[in-house]
């Protein structure tokens, strides 16, 4: 809803909120850019740069990136013509559909995260204003068309949001994000693990990655080279010791047969070449 957002940012600027929240000019420029008003977007980014005295401020860098994007829009348009973009109408709904991943050695299944109707639970996510997100599965037919997604069977989906899945090499272990919302509690997201046994995804187990409930960990990406008893993953988190906002971190887990649980071996921040004072996700 870019037009409505732009109107509110303009009102905030009229009331001089930029004196304490200069990022309003960044948001305004982003909306103008999305609406195709490149000339005015560039002016908003330039205005933000003038407000900031410290060129090491993440907002200053984002303003410079915005200006560069405005200068390169013609090249972006030329690049777009090299590709054919097609709406997968059989997969999409008016609600939010995201984070598709093709599954299995035959690559005939697709897992997606969606807030579409028909999911588990009746609540509304206070962040998105839509239903809580669930994991859905689509099958491909002989003609190469993806079919209507069905809710993932089993106990992985709950009344809260689940999504952003990743699989180990043998496709028998799935990692995903779950974000609980409990009244009067400040709870962050967690990464869970579920195993595929007897043709179904079993009970999900929370990975031990954080020291406090308010910290968020999520968006797992399992790295190649794992085994049935060991894997490495990259994830996003605001764990202490980062560079600011949410950073990308890496962790390794191994399966303890005696305790019958996955144990964290190492966890570390991926460093300043990747992470900044702003947010790094997905």
Mean pLDDT throughout 105-116? 93
Find, among 152, 158, 155, the residue nearest to 182 by Cα. 158
Q: What is the pLDDT of residue 19?
A: 94
d(CA 94, CA 121): 19
Q: What is the pLDDT of residue 170?
A: 84
Whether the pLDDT of residue 56 is over 80: the answer is no
The token pair at 255 is 């399966």
Whether the pLDDT of residue 118 is over 90: the answer is yes
Whether the pLDDT of residue 29 is over 80: the answer is yes
Mean pLDDT throughout 225-231? 88
d(CA 34, CA 43): 14
């Amino acid at each position: 809803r870019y037009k409505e957002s732009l109107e509110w940012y303009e009102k905030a600027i009229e009331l001089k909120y930029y004196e304490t929240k200069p990022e309003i000019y960044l948001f305004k420029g982003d909306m103008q850019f999305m609406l195709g008003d490149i000339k005015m977007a560039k002016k908003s980014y330039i205005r933000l740069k003038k407000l900031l005295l410290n060129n090491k401020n993440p907002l200053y860098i984002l303003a410079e990136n915005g200006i560069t994007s405005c200068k390169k829009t013609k090249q972006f348009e030329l690049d777009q013509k090299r590709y054919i973009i097609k709406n997968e109408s059989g997969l999409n709904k008016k609600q939010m559909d995201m984070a598709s991943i093709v599954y299995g050695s035959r690559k005939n299944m697709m897992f997606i995260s969606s807030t579409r109707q028909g999911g588990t639970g009746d609540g509304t996510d206070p962040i998105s204003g839509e239903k809580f997100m669930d994991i859905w599965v689509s099958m491909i037919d002989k003609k190469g068309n993806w079919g209507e997604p069905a809710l993932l069977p089993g106990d992985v989906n709950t009344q809260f949001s689940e999504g952003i899945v990743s699989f180990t090499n043998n496709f028998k272990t799935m990692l995903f994000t779950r974000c609980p919302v409990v009244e009067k509690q400040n709870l962050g997201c967690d990464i869970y693990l579920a195993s595929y046994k007897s043709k179904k995804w079993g009970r999900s187990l929370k990975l031990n990655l954080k020291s406090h409930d308010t910290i968020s960990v999520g968006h797992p990406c399992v790295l190649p080279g794992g085994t049935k008893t060991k894997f490495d993953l990259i994830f996003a988190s605001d764990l202490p010791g980062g560079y600011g906002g949410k950073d990308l971190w890496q962790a390794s887990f191994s399966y303890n047969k005696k305790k019958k649980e996955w144990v964290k071996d190492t966890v570390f921040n991926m460093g300043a070449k990747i992470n900044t004072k702003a947010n790094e996700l997905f």
